[in-house]
Structure 1
């Protein structure tokens, strides 16, 4: 599987560890995030993630910023994106199962690194249930 990842300065350290985890599991990772802790504008790394997922270059995406909100908002401006801000395992699972989320937004300042790594594993391995949920997904785009 190919995953796109993007982060701002608040998510740099988490990004490094997430990339290691994914590559160790045999996934290809497209890194659109900053590699430093210097302040930067999150949309500059989030829009490329959303573009990669939207155009099929990546199967799924992961975004990381301090609260996760800005990253999720930027990603969700793209019509083909369903970015979910998640801070526990149940939200991650439901985002995939019921909402067919294609981008996971992680709030680095509110979850531990170990939690974030667990979220990524769960996000990548959980499949969309389809069925009645697809009808709802079809009604999301404007």
Structure 2
């Protein structure tokens, strides 16, 4: 078996593993969304959460929502999009999806919070496909010469 054939096999296995992983992420996150209860909550404050010194600090949103006249609080990390665009501020009302058995694991009910893992895989796939297209076009240009 040549090196070229070995690379092609490894490449195929990588694509299959990536498709299965992305599909698993979609199923996992979709299960949470479908089994969750929807309500609305309010962003109370941004709190600084210390991580290791190598990572620095992170800012989490403290979000309060009400279930059966009882106040519940959960914390949600601000993702890159929110930090760049300043999407939320204290006092904003946000959609909340929660599981009645696990209140602290509630999530903000929008695309970037509910499907975070899936979105990461899709972005990686897009980068991968762009790289493939560039390599394919270069290969075509070299073969034409």
TM-score range for the pair, normalised by the shorter chain length:
under 0.3
Structure whose residues are more often helix by fraction: 2
Structure whose residues are more often strand by fraction: 2
Q: TM-score, normalised by structure 2?
A: 0.24
